[in-house]
Amino acid sequence: MERFFSNNYYFLVTASLFNSKYRGSDGILRNTAFDDNYITNFLVGKDFKTGKHKQDVLSLNLKFILKGGDYYTPIDLDASIKNNEEILIDNLAFSDRAPAYMKLDFGIKYRHNFPKVSFVSSVDIQNVTDNVNIYNIFYNPDSKSIQNVSFIGIIPIINFRLEFWNYTSCYFFVFLLI
């Protein structure tokens, strides 16, 4: 479902259901690394006109993603310790599954418009709920254990921008990322 930007707001909702399988040389049908089974996206945004002459804009935006966890091949811990390197259990290829991936992003932007220039400041917070999403699972030979690598937690992005307008619609950008 989609509502294009009109009357100062928009939204988009998507959902996909799917399976991704392969048949190995042993004849067994297995999941692939891409068999997440589902993914959903939800985006919504609203603009509010502000300022003395309603020439400025305050924008609020929200984005939510939820998808099934990735399948992966389990690690044989005993064999990995013995060989001092990661050893996968090949006959169980893509049989284990990471938890579902979930991320919520929030953004707020203020645009102050002058006749020939606009000042735009924004704050985007990626993964605002600080959800732990697994990126990779691996054997660590130093600790002799199986460990998870997670995506980065909360990521704040602060942006200040000056936009100089002329008849050719040129921009000059100044970015600040923290």
Q: For 135-157, how does the pLDDT look when each residue is reduced to its tens digit (9 = 90+)?
A: 999 999 999 999 999 988 899 99
pLDDT at 168 over 50: no
Half-sphere exposure of 64 (CA within 13 A, CB side): 11
The helix, strand and coil proportions of the chain, stated in percent and rounded to the nearest 5, come to: 5, 55, 40
- 84-92 average pLDDT score: 94
E strand segments, 51-164: 56-67, 71-72, 96-97, 101-113, 117-126, 134-140, 145-150, 155-164
The proportion of the chain whose per-residue pLDDT surpasses 70, expressed as a percent, equals: 93
**Per-residue pLDDT band at 39 (split at 50, 70, 90):** very high
pLDDT at 110 over 90: yes
**Per-residue pLDDT band at 166 (split at 50, 70, 90):** low
pLDDT at 172 over 70: no
Q: Which residue has the higher pLDDT, 176 or 135?
A: 135
pLDDT at 23 over 80: yes
pLDDT at 11 over 80: yes
- 88-115 average pLDDT score: 94
Interatomic CA distance for residues 74 and 95, integer angstroms: 7
pLDDT at 115 over 80: yes
pLDDT at 178 over 80: no
- 79-108 average pLDDT score: 95
